[in-house]
Structure 1
Amino acid sequence: MSTRGECPVRRPADLWIGTNRGGLHPLRHGDGWSTGMPYPDAINVSFGVHSLRHDLHYLVDERDDGAIGVYRATADGWRQIARVAVDGNAPCHLALSHDQSLLAVANYASGSVSILDLDSNGLPIAPAHIFAHSGSGPNRERQASPHAHWVGFDADDRWLYATDLGTDEIRAFAVAPAPGGNRVRAAGTAFHAPAGSGPRHLLLHPHVRRVAYLANELANTLTVLVGGEGRFSAARTVSTLPEEYEGPSIVAHLAINAAGDQLYVSNRGHDSIAVFALDAKGDPRLIQHAPAGAAYPRHCVLLEDEGLMVIANEKDECVTLLPIDADGLLGPHVARVAVPGAAFVLPL
């Protein structure tokens, strides 16, 4: 995508699929949807973010000795600009501050959060600042230690939040200007989730200030949070699954439309997208469980101009595309494309 007033840059493909093996795969639309030769140098790409200011992509390499790769996509293909250690194990999520001077990293296996300052060209300045954590939860298999799973800055770049699936917490970090850049410090726990719920993904409402949504992976619930400035409280918690469903499932990803009146949650196991209508105050009302078209929908992206949701399905190792109706409901999938190790949808 280009910023307003700039000429659009031709890209090698409109969409790329990050995988836990085999690199980045292009997803193209011609007579139908298809993939092509992958870019092999981006490995274990389970998430990434794009800097409009610098036209750089920051992609995780989710290994025990994980790192962040910095890339540029051009008409001639991908080019790696830098590779920086995060001093954490299995980095799985990234966030750019809105002024694009800081890059935050959630390290799943080590449970730590890494902060990298970015220079004037958008390149990370090593070494990373590390915020370690301790603790556990009641689920011995999934919560034996901290597992940072998501990071994100608030709209004013004053607070950074991190969800910890292992300790059932949202952690808060205060961000303040300092000579030579911003200063980040640990500020404590912003929210204690119910024991064993496994908070995975937080989404701050883009228009309704002081409202956020927390996807609890192990409990298969969505919690509406209110607050800010380093503290949240629960206003309401709803299931992401149908009442009659009794099989195994875990929540994965949250997505919201540009208008802020439709919220989507992916269910791995039930293999559906739960669709919630949001009222003017951000309160959710379940309106649909749409089949994802494949097993274990892990990550999804809304392409509203095209009227499509693109889903990376973990177990079936494929991408499915679902039409989005005017009312936000999802239709049956219109395409299914095999992508080995599909984990993440990267729109350009």
Structure 2
Amino acid sequence: MTRRLLLLTLFSLSYIFICAQPKKEILYVGTFSVRGSQGIYSYTFNRAKKTLTPVQNVPGLESPSFLGIHPTRKFLYSVNRGKASENETGGSVTAYQLDAKTGKLTALNTRSSFGADPCHISFDKTGQYIFVSNYNEGNLVVLPLFEDGLVGNPSDSKKYIGNSINTERQQSSHLHSALISPDNHFLYAADLGTDKIYIYNFNLKNGTLDDSRQKEVSVKPGCGPRHFVFHPNGNYMYVAEELTSTVATFKVDKKNGDLTILQDSVLSLPKTFTGKNTSADIHIDPKGKFLYMSNRGYNGLSIFSVGADGKIKLVGQQTTGGSTPRNFMIDSKGEYIFVAHQDSDTIVMFRINPKTGMLAQVGKPVKVPAPVCLKMITLP
């Protein structure tokens, strides 16, 4: 073999070896500050072995509960129940630098969330703004982000006042989540306290929320809209109704942002279940074939098939092997679901059957104190 041919062979083998190496996947876990929790936890996910290996624990302010990964994958943000400084009230938002090689986090800065009990954070598609939902304050805040990841002062905010028929949970407005539309033109905000979803035209230039044509849509009184998700094609929205353990399906008008109800209060629990339950999180698989919603009390995931017309049909449930599955996530390939159990301190993994959507537990549960939010990133 000539020297040139040998070098080419070695180069080709090295290239194949490098390409064959699996990319590193990191799971980040937001927690409540109870039972010894030390903030945000991170784990390397080994897809072949179905294991989670600890990477880092990042202490911070009280209860870094909900997390968000920036669209550039350079930063991670948490909303915290702890306040940013002694001079401020309410909760806070913390920015972290995300190391592209290791996935480790380094704190950058912390700002007030400008409201009590922040419970959700999301981004516009360009990553220039974050949207923070403050549950007890009943308000929505838009915060600009600088190129270095730092959080700025609010560019806009909305305060909500109202109530509904559940006298224990809907005595006032409780904003629970907000998401931008896939085309970045409209922002939707779910208010559990008033049974409404508010709709805004999003002004990217100024970071402001302007009145849309429809302005708001209501679900049945007492349902309590909590989290919601868009179908991958952007034509449909699915809303987890916490207080009635049901799902509402909406048709999305991409031109003006309007929502039209397709299905109202779709049941998620087995008919034989008679205990107390509240629904929490909701996600759809990357192909848009199956929808999943977590139920606390029943302690399982409800599984729905999704039709070509966007409508859903309940096909089964999967108990999750823990207590209070507040949050869960589907990996980007649509192969696995990770479930965070707030009260039994575990993360449990399930394999998704691509044909039926049904679930089978795999691997061993991972112990984490009071896990309440899961986010995963694939490092470049």
State whether residues 87 and 128 of structure 1, in contact with CA within 8 Å, keep that contact through their aligned partners in structure 2: no
1:24 aligns with 2:66: no
The alignment's TM-score, normalised by the length of structure 2, stands at 0.82
RMSD: 2.4
Match of 1:51 among 62, 66, 70: 70
Instruction: State the shift of 1:42 in Å.
Output: 5.7
What is the one-letter code of the residue matched to 1:216? E
State whether residues 71 and 81 of structure 1, in contact with CA within 8 Å, keep that contact through their aligned partners in structure 2: yes
Q: Distance in 1 between matches of 2:347 and 2:272?
A: 27
Instruction: State the shift of 1:333 in Å.
Output: 4.9
Larger Rg: 2
Can you list the C-alpha shifts for 1:148-190, whole angstroms capped at 9, x where unaligned?
0010011222211100001110011221354xx3432254742
Can you list the C-alpha shifts for 1:17-68, whole angstroms capped at 9, x where unaligned?
1101221123345775454762112641222221233611121113472111
2:375 aligns with: 346
State whether residues 290 and 332 of structure 1, in contact with CA within 8 Å, keep that contact through their aligned partners in structure 2: no
Structure 2 CA distance for partners of 1:149 and 1:316, relative to 1, 3 Å:
same
Structure 2 CA distance for partners of 1:175 and 1:133, relative to 1, 3 Å:
same
Match of 2:199 among 140, 162, 172: 172
Structure 2 CA distance for partners of 1:9 and 1:97, relative to 1, 3 Å:
farther
What is the one-letter code of the residue matched to 2:314? L
Q: Distance in 1 between matches of 2:103 and 2:66?
A: 23
The alignment's TM-score, normalised by the length of structure 1, stands at 0.89
Where do 1:167-316 residues align within 5 Å? 167-178=194-205, 181-187=206-212, 189-209=215-235, 211-228=236-253, 229-237=256-264, 238-303=266-331, 305=333, 307-316=335-344
2:190 aligns with: 163
71-80 vs 249-258, which deviates more? 71-80
State whether residues 54 and 122 of structure 1, in contact with CA within 8 Å, keep that contact through their aligned partners in structure 2: no
2:6 aligns with: none
Percent identity, please: 24
Structure 2 CA distance for partners of 1:292 and 1:220, relative to 1, 3 Å:
same
Structure 2 CA distance for partners of 1:222 and 1:212, relative to 1, 3 Å:
same
Name the SS of the counterpart of 1:125 in structure 2.
coil
State whether residues 271 and 294 of structure 1, in contact with CA within 8 Å, keep that contact through their aligned partners in structure 2: yes
Instruction: State the shift of 1:122 in Å.
Output: 4.0
Can you list the C-alpha shifts for 1:186-207, whole angstroms capped at 9, x where unaligned?
5474211111111101212121
Q: Distance in 2 between matches of 1:276 and 1:344?
A: 22
State whether residues 101 and 118 of structure 1, in contact with CA within 8 Å, keep that contact through their aligned partners in structure 2: yes
Name the SS of the counterpart of 2:359 in structure 1.
coil
1:38 aligns with 2:63: no
1:146 aligns with 2:173: yes
In the comparison of the two structures, how many residue pairs are matched? 337
Instruction: State the shift of 1:282 in Å.
Output: 1.7
What is the one-letter code of the residue matched to 1:192? S
Instruction: State the shift of 1:279 in Å.
Output: 1.7
Name the SS of the counterpart of 1:14 in structure 2.
strand
Instruction: State the shift of 1:143 in Å.
Output: 0.9
Can you list the C-alpha shifts for 1:238-258, whole angstroms capped at 9, x where unaligned?
101112211111111111111
Q: Distance in 2 between matches of 1:62 and 1:126?
A: 18
Q: Distance in 2 between matches of 1:321 and 1:212?
A: 26
Q: Distance in 1 between matches of 2:210 and 2:129?
A: 13
Q: Select the structure that is richer in helix.
A: 2
Can you list the C-alpha shifts for 1:108-144, whole angstroms capped at 9, x where unaligned?
0101000112234443321452211100111121111
Q: Distance in 2 between matches of 1:334 and 1:141?
A: 39
Give the gaps of 5 or more residues in structure 2. Answer: 1-20, 83-88
Q: Distance in 2 between matches of 1:305 and 1:223?
A: 26
1:94 aligns with 2:121: yes
